[in-house]
């Protein structure tokens, strides 16, 4: 019964830290060695629940038995923790975004090139979107022409979240920018965005918007539309439709159950997922699968610094477009 699992440490014991720690603890190829200390004491709670020890992050980095680190702490700490972990020779899984500052991200491009870093753009690991991507790659809809992404959060975040969020485009639509790049197979070169504050005036008061429609254009003329909203009122709406020369493929929202009720008024189907934890549960588990494969040298990181930089560049361009009212060329690095 020799244990050949990869020992890993998790830092960050909030919502995403808990998700990753639980998945790591249950993963046959990973061993959750410890939960790293955080000032707020949440590490202890999480560690207790999983029957694992708490350790200082520095101790985890110094432990040669630990092969990898999962970073799910506050966004502002991601970049420094990732740099420290890589410097200590650990493989890193870092929640998205690696950083919200494009210049700072670019300043470290050299360090991150070829680094064993996976950034948690979770939608790429979702089985529904993966099946879509596989179909596109197999040429089943011919040449891709246009793409529509819908990403509506169930309910607006508390206004206190907005000021440190990075804003709608860098915090939320960044997922769609990553999806657009991934699915289109061609870089967007120009971005247009219109945005409004229709959901919550407190969001406008905090200097942000809550509703946007964005269009991306590639050099060959491919077009992608993104519909973004901080509040759907009907659940976590996450869909994609891809149009090609030989047809269309799309991913719809999974339902909580297949139960239907029928009455005089018609039929009622079950709700879709109420939030990201439910919608992307399988994706988060697949992220740990992928991280284990990276640790085992069986896979190269599927999404890292470069993808994060490109998505953030699109988010910044969209933000500038929404402010100026004109399309914005996407800066190449």
Residues 209-268 contacting its own copies, CB under 8 A: 211-213, 215, 217, 221-225, 227, 229, 232-235, 237, 243-268
Cα three-residue angle 214-312-169, rounded to 5 degrees:
40
Residues in contact with its own copies, total (CB under 8 A)? 82
When asked if residue 298 is in the footprint of its own copies (CB under 8 A), the reply is: no
Near its own copies by CB under 8 A, which window of 74-82, 96-104, 125-133, 174-182?
Answer: 125-133
Please report how close the Cβ of residue 255 comes to its own copies at its closest, in angstroms.
7
Please report how close the Cβ of residue 1 comes to its own copies at its closest, in angstroms.
6
The contact mask relative to its own copies for 182-211 (x = CB under 8 A, - = no) is ----------x-x-xxxx-----------x
Please report how close the Cβ of residue 307 comes to its own copies at its closest, in angstroms.
23
Please report how close the Cβ of residue 187 comes to its own copies at its closest, in angstroms.
16
Site for its own copies in 265-284 (CB under 8 A): 265-272
Please report how close the Cβ of residue 134 comes to its own copies at its closest, in angstroms.
9
> Which residue is listed with tokens 């702490």?
73
When asked if residue 296 is in the footprint of its own copies (CB under 8 A), the reply is: no
Rounded to an integer, what distance in angstroms lies between the CA atom of residue 333 and that of residue 330? 9
Instruction: Provide the β-strand partners of residue 93.
Output: 70, 118
Q: Are strands 188-196 and 144-152 parallel, antiparallel or unpaired?
A: unpaired
Q: Which is nearer to its own copies, 35 or 86 (CB)?
A: 35
When asked if residue 7 is in the footprint of its own copies (CB under 8 A), the reply is: no
Rounded to an integer, what distance in angstroms lies between the CA atom of residue 179 and that of residue 242? 12
Please choose, from the candidates 4, 58, 11, the residue with its C-alpha nearest in 3D space to the C-alpha of residue 34.
Answer: 11
When asked if residue 167 is in the footprint of its own copies (CB under 8 A), the reply is: no
When asked if residue 320 is in the footprint of its own copies (CB under 8 A), the reply is: no
Rounded to an integer, what distance in angstroms lies between the CA atom of residue 146 and that of residue 44? 48
Q: Which is nearer to its own copies, 44 or 102 (CB)?
A: 44
Rounded to an integer, what distance in angstroms lies between the CA atom of residue 117 and that of residue 112? 8
Please report how close the Cβ of residue 292 comes to its own copies at its closest, in angstroms.
15
Tokens of 331: 């800066």
Q: Which is nearer to its own copies, 75 or 146 (CB)?
A: 146
When asked if residue 141 is in the footprint of its own copies (CB under 8 A), the reply is: yes
When asked if residue 51 is in the footprint of its own copies (CB under 8 A), the reply is: yes
Is the CB of residue 182 less than 8 Å from the CB of residue 136? no
Rounded to an integer, what distance in angstroms lies between the CA atom of residue 240 and that of residue 313? 22
Near its own copies by CB under 8 A, which window of 89-97, 136-144, 163-171, 289-297?
Answer: 136-144
Q: Provide the angle, in degrees to the nearest 10, between the axes of the packed helices 42-49 and 15-26.
A: 30
Q: Which is nearer to its own copies, 171 or 200 (CB)?
A: 200
Please choose, from the candidates 17, 328, 311, 304, the residue with its C-alpha nearest in 3D space to the C-alpha of residue 172.
Answer: 311
When asked if residue 151 is in the footprint of its own copies (CB under 8 A), the reply is: no
Phi-psi category of residue 163: left, alpha or beta, with phi > 0 → left and psi -120 to 50 → alpha? alpha
Near its own copies by CB under 8 A, which window of 114-122, 132-140, 159-167, 180-188?
Answer: 132-140
Measure CA 194 to chain center. Answer: 23
14, 157, 159, 327: residue in contact with its own copies (rule CB under 8 A): 327
Residue 103: in which H helix or E strand, if any? helix 102-107
When asked if residue 325 is in the footprint of its own copies (CB under 8 A), the reply is: yes
Rounded to an integer, what distance in angstroms lies between the CA atom of residue 277 and that of residue 294? 24
Site for its own copies in 62-91 (CB under 8 A): none
Rounded to an integer, what distance in angstroms lies between the CA atom of residue 317 and that of residue 85? 31
């Amino acid at each position: 019964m020799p244990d050949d699992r990869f020992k890993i440490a998790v830092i960050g014991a909030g919502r995403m830290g808990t998700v990753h720690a639980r998945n790591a603890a249950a993963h046959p190829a990973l061993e959750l060695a410890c939960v790293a200390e955080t000032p707020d004491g949440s590490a202890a709670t999480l560690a207790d629940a999983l029957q694992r020890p708490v350790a200082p992050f520095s101790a985890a980095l110094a432990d040669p038995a630990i092969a990898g680190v999962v970073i799910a702490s506050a966004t502002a700490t991601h970049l420094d923790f990732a740099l420290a972990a890589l410097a200590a020779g650990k493989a890193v899984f870092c929640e998205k975004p690696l950083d919200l500052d494009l210049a700072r991200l670019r300043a470290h491009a050299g360090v991150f090139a070829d680094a064993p870093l996976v950034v948690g753009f979770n939608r790429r690991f979702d089985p529904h979107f993966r099946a879509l991507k596989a179909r596109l790659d197999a040429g089943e809809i011919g040449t891709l022409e246009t793409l529509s992404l819908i990403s509506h959060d169930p309910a607006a975040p508390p206004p206190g979240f907005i000021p440190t969020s990075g804003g709608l485009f860098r915090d939320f639509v960044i997922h769609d920018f990553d999806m657009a790049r991934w699915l289109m197979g061609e870089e967007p070169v120009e971005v247009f965005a219109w945005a409004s504050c229709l959901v919550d005036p407190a969001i406008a008061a905090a200097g942000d918007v809550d509703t946007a429609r964005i269009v991306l254009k590639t050099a060959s003329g491919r077009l992608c539309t993104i519909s973004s909203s901080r509040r759907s009122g009907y659940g976590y709406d996450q869909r994609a439709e891809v149009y090609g020369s030989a047809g269309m493929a799309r991913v719809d929202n999974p339902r909580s159950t297949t139960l239907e009720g029928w009455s005089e008024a018609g039929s009622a189907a079950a709700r879709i997922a109420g939030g990201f934890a439910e919608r992307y549960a399988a994706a988060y588990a697949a992220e740990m699968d992928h991280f284990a494969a990276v640790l085992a040298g069986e896979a190269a990181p599927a999404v890292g610094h470069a993808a994060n930089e490109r998505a953030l560049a699109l988010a910044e361009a969209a933000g500038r477009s929404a402010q100026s009212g004109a399309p914005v060329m996407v800066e190449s690095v």
